[in-house]
Amino acid sequence: MDTTNRGERIAQMLRKEFYEVIDGGAGRVSPQMLSSRLLDTLDPEHEVHELIRHGCDMEFRQVARKICSAAHNSAQSQAEQSEMFAEDMLQVFYPVGGDEYCRRDLLTPQQYEHNENRLEKEGKIKLQHSRVLREERILKLNINYWNEDGTVRIPGQNCSPAHVVQNGDHAPSIFSGVK
């Protein structure tokens, strides 16, 4: 079995642990918890050398972090795309510090406030990013940056998307040297 298959097998086993924890009604889940559960499944008698077990624990936690984050981000993405009532936009789990996620119905007032502030900050950053991107597009429109077919207009260079992909060329930024 190659390492890619082993890695995916580990991820599947950790996802199984994740859903068992959630389906079991746990109010909190963390990469550490998932890693410990999997290690206890794979090595219930703790027969593996402690350094090897520690290395596995660190790797399992890293994979479990991605699983917890993906579940959180998936719920967040679904909420962002929802045009339903505000309650349908809420996630089941929210981050509560470090790598730990907590079921919404078990959040403390401070954890609610932490997530409110975090989401508002993310929203402000996304809004700011969108405004800067719009400003750049408008600036480029005003200086005739593009040809009629949408390719970049730079004298002496072919910057069509097909040319860039084939040759690995990159059009120089109009903001070069701007800090």
- Buried (b) or exposed (e) across 110-120, using 16+ Cβ within 10 A? ebeebbeeeee
Question: What residues does each domain of the chain span?
Answer: 3-107, 109-142, 146-179
pTM for this model (two decimals): 0.49
Check residue 121 and give its pLDDT. Answer: 94
User: What's the mean pLDDT in 10-31?
Assistant: 83
Two tokens, residue 25: 């009604």
Q: At residue 167, does pLDDT exceed 80?
A: no
Q: What pLDDT, in 10s, does the model give residues 112-134?
A: 999 999 999 999 999 999 999 99
Percent of residues, the chain, with pLDDT higher than 90: 20
